[in-house]
Amino acid sequence: MYLFGVVAADHPGQPADLVGLGGPDTALWRVHAGATAGVVTAAPGWLRARPRDLLAHQLVLDCLWQYGPVLPARYGIVAPDEETLRAALRRSALRHLDALAQLAELTPARAGIEPITGLAGMASTGNPLLDRSG
């Protein structure tokens, strides 16, 4: 499964209303792990850093950010299954909650998301157990 980012479990953004990588039939959902959740979609078999795919990744993050803080995952972060992702989220829960709280305190002007043109602008989740697709 492909990870877009991490949100608080009570984040009001609805992933079901968004489109993932691969087109309009690609659903998004949350993998809940206590007080946080990963926003995911089925991992396409063709992860490449094409401009349209990077923009699709960024659009999901932008839409989620409109409803509250989100910790973006670098493009290409995948986990083999929900349980592996859930375990990684639980191990990093305190760090994620602290970062989300810090983002929530920022004014919208300081915390706005700008479109990126390459992979360098994406933040890593910092989870060593999540695989990066290549």
- Is the pLDDT score of 117 beyond 70? no
The pLDDT of residue 126: 45
- Is the pLDDT score of 134 beyond 70? no
Which uninterrupted H or E stretch holds 41? strand 36-41
Using the CB atoms, write b or e for 22-37: b if 16+ within 10 Å: beeeeebbbbebeebb
The pLDDT of residue 18: 75
Mean pLDDT of 23-33: 86
Q: How many domains does the chain have?
A: 1
The pLDDT of residue 89: 97
The pLDDT of residue 114: 55
pTM: 0.76
Domain that holds residue 54: 2-132
Sign, CA dihedral 110-96-55-129, equals positive
Contact, 26 vs 42, CB < 8 A?
yes
Q: How far apart are CA 132 and CA 47, in angstroms?
A: 10
* Tokens of residue 53, six digits: 């795919």
